[in-house]
Amino acid sequence: MIMRIAYGIEVDAPGNDKYISIAEKGLAVFAAALVPGKYLVETFPILRHLPAWFPGAQFKRDGKQWKPDALAVLETPWNMATEMAANGTAPSSIAKTLMERISRLPSEEAAEEEDIARSAAGVIYGGTSLAAPFPG
C-alpha cells in the first residue's frame, strides 16, 4: 500500500516484486551499516581519509559494496514514478504531487528540490518497510 501512496506504483505479491526486493536489500544495508561501534571510524573520524585497501578501512570497502543497494531504494521507484508522470499514466501519489510542484520552479531550484523530494519519498518507502517484520 505504501508504494501506491508514495509513488503510485502497484506491487505484486510480496516476495515476487522488484520494489519489495529493493527495499529488503536496502534495509539489510542500513541494518548492517548502522550497528553502533561497528567501525573504528565512528570513534576516530580522521580514519575516513585512509585508502580503501588499508587495514582498518573495511568501512570504505563495505560502503562501496552497499552503495548500489542503498541508492536503488531512492532511485528505482522515483524513476518509475517520473516515467509514469511523463507518459501521463501516473495515478495520484506523493511523488506525483511533488513532481508537479517541482515542474513550476525555476530550473536552478528544481534540481535541488527534486533531490529533496526523491529523498522524502524514499524515507516513506524505506521507513515504512522498517515497521514491517524483517524477512529471514
Does residue 92 register a pLDDT over 80? Answer: yes
Gap between the Cα atoms of 85 and 88, Å rounded: 5
Per-residue pLDDT tens digits for 12-34: 766 667 888 888 888 888 888 88
Which grid cell sits at 53?
A: 585497501
Which grid cell sits at 4?
A: 501506491
Sign of the CA dihedral 130, 110, 82, 7? positive
Burial classification of residue 27, based on how many CB atoms lie within 10 Å of its CB (0-12 exposed, 13-18 middle, 19 or more buried): buried
Q: How open is the CA angle 115-100-114, to the nearest 5 degrees? A: 5
Which grid cell sits at 25?
A: 536489500
Give pTM, 2 decimals: 0.76
Decide: 102 and 61 in contact? Cβ < 8 Å.
Answer: no
Please tell me the predicted confidence (pLDDT) of residue 130: 53
Please tell me the predicted confidence (pLDDT) of residue 125: 77
Residues composing the chain: 136
Gap between the Cα atoms of 5 and 128, Å rounded: 11
Gap between the Cα atoms of 101 and 136, Å rounded: 40
Place of cell 552503495: 67
Q: Tell me, rounded to whole angstroms, the distance of Cα 118 from its chain centroid.
A: 8
